[in-house]
Amino acid sequence: MKLTNAEIFTYTNNLLDAFKEYSEYLPAKFNFYFTKNINKIVDAALDIDKVKQSIIKKYKDKDNEKLESELNDLSNFSQDIEILMIPFSWLTEDMRFTPQQMRSIMFMIDKNA
């Protein structure tokens, strides 16, 4: 899935916030895909943050215009993240998600499957 770095940060923050206190058991296949996706997106966000911090360090007390430009370029940069799409048919009535949790996983749900 092609995502901008800004989208990766948004998805990461939404997922971590929505599921920080989640303790429901999920079916094994769903849980596997879900966990793999979270790990991939969090790892990508951590890598992006390292680059962001190096850019900030590079321009510390220097040219703010160049700093803003490079940070904008970093945010707009697109990369492919291998998201395992979860078929909609795997969502069952007994799975309990809050609206916030459902919104945070929408990008990994294949509505046509």
Mean pLDDT confidence for 8-26: 92
113 pLDDT above the threshold of 90: no
In whole angstroms, give the CA distance from residue 52 to residue 75.
9
Mean pLDDT confidence for 77-92: 95
Task: Report yes or no: 37 and 108 within 8 Å, Cβ to Cβ.
Answer: yes
Task: Report yes or no: 37 and 104 within 8 Å, Cβ to Cβ.
Answer: no
The pLDDT assigned to 60 comes to: 83
Our measurement of the distance from residue 81's CA atom to the centroid of its chain's CA atoms, rounded to an integer in Å, reads 10
- Over residues 37-81, the pLDDT tens digits come to 999 999 999 999 999 999 999 888 887 889 999 999 999 999 999
Q: What secondary structure letter does DSSP report for 20?
A: T
Mean pLDDT confidence for 73-95: 95
**Number of independent structural domains in the chain:** 1
**Average predicted confidence (pLDDT) for the chain:** 94
The pLDDT assigned to 80 comes to: 96
Domain range holding 30? 2-110
pTM of the full structure: 0.87
The pLDDT assigned to 50 comes to: 97
* DSSP-derived pairing of the beta strands 86-87 and 109-110: parallel
